[in-house]
A = this chain, B = another copy of it.
Amino acid sequence: MATLTVPASVPPVAEDCEQLHKAFEGWGTNEKLIISVLAHRDAAHRRAIRRAYAEKYGKELLRALGDEIHGKFERAVILWTLDPAERDAVLASEEAKKWHPGGRALVEIACARTPAQLFAARQAYHDRFKRSLEEDVAAHVTGDFRKLLVPLVSAYRYDGPEVNTSLAHSEAKILHENIHKKAYSDEEVIRILTTRSKAQLLATFNSYKDQFDHPINKDLKADPKDEFLATLRAIIRCFICPDRYFEKVLRLALGGMGTDEDDVTRVIATRAEVDLKLIKEAYQKRNSVPLERAVAKDTTRDYEDILLALLGAE
């Protein structure tokens, strides 16, 4: 369900490196060439290109890119070129350090990845920042958000399909009681959402709907301006329907006044190799307009070009 398009026969790594080097040479930069190489290579290819480039030219590819390109385009190219685990580490570190209640990167990394991918991001965090992810989250985030986000990013959830239905029933009750009392940051709510497996949580949310006639997320809409509630809903949606969750992030980032380029870049760079096709379908269905057209309307030049390339536009 990826949108990434890779040529049927990918050129040798050495040739890709030469093309990139050529794009950096002389007056100006050949942005089209950069896009034509990097935006059409999968994670393993990009990793091989980075390794070979550094060996051949004695300079990290990401540093060379940073010297040549700038702004939103630079950010999109660099985030995309990074290995998925490293990219998650970078996004998580940025959000932890400048944390604000509307941030969604930590929630996405904790809940819209597999447990093994979240752990890989934590390993990449050590390598890159010489600290742990949960250490930075705990040091920068405060209050109820800290109580929620530290266990969320520290979890190594069980990833199997097994479900305990009576547990789902009783924990749906616990969630309902606390939501009813507006005790949204209750320890038990946080315990359930941050430790149970995805399969178990889906069973719990289904049981919630069966027992109480509402989807849990509807009951969490009591105050649309409460960012803690919005974070709980984001967690739940990342488990239940990641494609529709990401569709909404894009819809809000693109629609209305101004464009939230950080959100657009993050979602497209992190999902192009995963499920961006599903997100595009959800977007088209919800907005009656293709996602590519909405992106093209709100962005320009090289930044627009790389996003469209990653979206698989013809």
A interface residues with partner B (beta carbon < 8 Å): 119, 122-123, 126, 130-135, 138-139, 146, 150-151, 154-160, 162, 187, 191, 194-197
Decide if B154 touches A155 in the complex (CB within 8 Å).
yes
Known: A134-B151, A151-B134. A156 touches B191 (CB 8 A): no
Q: Which residue of B lies closest to A191 (CB)?
A: B138
Bound Cα distance A191, B160 (Å)? 30
A134, A146, A151 — which one has the most chain B CB atoms within 10 A of its CB?
A134
Decide if A135 touches B158 in the complex (CB within 8 Å).
yes
Residues of B near A158 (CB, < 8 A) are 126, 130-132, 135
User: What 4 new A-B contacts, CB under 8 Å, besides A135-B197, A138-B194?
Assistant: A119-B156, A132-B195, A154-B154, A154-B156
* A134 interface neighbour in B126, B130, B131, B155, Cβ under 8 Å: B155
Bound Cα distance A197, B133 (Å)? 12
Residues of B near A130 (CB, < 8 A) are 158, 160, 162
Residues of B near A194 (CB, < 8 A) are 138
Q: Which residue of B lies closest to A133 (CB)?
A: B156
Pairs of residues from A and B, 10 with the lowest C-beta to C-beta distance, nearest first: A154-B154, A135-B195, A138-B191, A132-B158, A138-B195, A122-B156, A130-B162, A131-B158, A126-B158, A134-B195
* A132 interface neighbour in B122, B146, B197, Cβ under 8 Å: B197
Bound Cα distance A197, B130 (Å)? 10
Residues of B near A123 (CB, < 8 A) are 156
Residues of B near A155 (CB, < 8 A) are 132, 134, 154
| Sample of 29 A–B contacts (CB below 8 Å) | A119-B119, A119-B156, A123-B156, A126-B156, A126-B158, A126-B159, A126-B160, A130-B160, A131-B158, A131-B197, A132-B157, A132-B197, A133-B156, A134-B151, A134-B154, A134-B155, A135-B158, A135-B195, A135-B197, A138-B191, A138-B194, A139-B191, A139-B195, A146-B187, A150-B151, A150-B191, A151-B154, A154-B154, A154-B155
Bound Cα distance A130, B160 (Å)? 7
CB distance from A128 to the nearest CB of B (A): 11
Bound Cα distance A45, B156 (Å)? 29
